[in-house]
Amino acid sequence: MSLGIHGNSSYSNFEVSFLSVPVLLLFVPALYIPITIRIVYRIFMNLKTSIREKNANVPLFSAITLSHIMCLLFFIADFLYLRLPLSGLLTSWCARLQPSGYLLILIIIVYHINYIVVILPFLVAVIRLMLILSPQTHHKINSKILKCAFPLILLSPFFFTYGMFSTVGYCEYPGWPVEFGGVIFRVKYNGVGIQNKYGLLFNTVFWLLASLAINTLLILKLVILKSIVIPHTVSRASQRAQLSLTITSVSMTLACVTNGLIAVGGNLFPNYYVLLIVLRPFINDLDTCLTPWIFYLTHPAFRKKSISPIVPNRRVLH
């Protein structure tokens, strides 16, 4: 039984116009991704400096930096997985292939990174909460949390993607509103494992609720702490760092929100699923750029004249 467009001469002979809207849309990220990469690079270099200086807040900075890097990796993977096929540039090539496990590699990578991205906001919120709950020992506790969390976060997606390893990937024309010639990669499930549309929906909703709960508790704790701390004992840089980290932590949950809206919308309104898929890359771009920009532009550690550490005042926790 044939799958998708494979062996269909209408697609194998398809010639894409390089001036078509789908192809031109490929260049839209060039307006904001390069500057985002530059910002993430500067954040990473600041992390290296903090590690060298043995800053007390390295665990938090490491988690935030990892989140930024994973979002950029997800952009690259999703560009190859979604944007490029929808443009029609891969249609003729894909139609000449046979469905195979090789086409699964990119799909698995995209889902794997996506699972990691929705977990990291929770990790950042937990590390920040430890700064308040254990002001004297937070560095030791957060270092242990990070040491245990990193391998678990990187490996846990396999529980949801292992079912794809015994299947095949194929290319298919998704239908409206995609023009003829645009395709997407799909998986032919064989009943083994969890279908990712359900696995991703569960993970997105679970980690979104968990992140919102921790961030709500964190904000309440900060409000209480602020009410009992004498104002002149808190430096202005420390206050700015506190506000910056709070906004950054909350903005990181946008990755879960956008994932959730697309997953829920696709299940509740299947007729509009393809439209959501087409819009998804641009919505994800907002997640990819917004959080590092907010962190970089608001945190005093990145100001040219600032010599403040990541957490300027160890007594006022962020």
The verdict on domain 9-302 having CATH code 3.20.20.60 is no
**Which tokens belong to 314?**
């160890």
**Whether 83 contacts 281, CB under 8 Å:** yes
The partner residues of 188 in beta bridges, in order of sequence, read 168
Residue identified by tokens 């469905």 is 99
Answer yes or no: are the C-beta atoms of 119 and 208 closer than 8 Å.
Answer: no
Q: Where are the domains of the chain?
A: 9-302
- Do residues 271 and 208 touch, judged by C-beta distance below 8 A? no
| pLDDT by 10s per residue, the chain, length 318 | 467 999 899 999 999 999 999 999 999 999 999 999 999 999 999 999 989 888 878 999 999 999 999 999 999 999 999 999 999 999 999 999 999 888 899 999 999 999 999 999 999 999 999 988 888 888 899 999 999 999 999 999 999 888 888 888 999 999 889 999 999 999 987 666 677 878 888 898 899 999 999 999 999 988 888 777 656 556 677 778 888 888 998 888 887 887 777 777 877 888 888 898 898 899 889 889 999 999 999 998 887 654 444 444 444 444
> For residue 192, what pLDDT is reported?
65
Q: What pTM value is reported for the model?
A: 0.89
What backbone torsions phi and psi does residue 116 show, to the nearest 5 degrees?
-65, -45
The predicted pLDDT at position 232 comes to 58
Task: Pick the closest to residue 270 from 197, 208, 205, 207 (CA basis).
Answer: 197
Measure the CA–CA gap between 40 and 26, rounded to whole angstroms: 22
Spell out the residues 6+ positions from residue 184 whose beta carbon is closer than 8 angstroms to its own. Answer: 82, 85, 86, 171, 172, 174, 178, 277
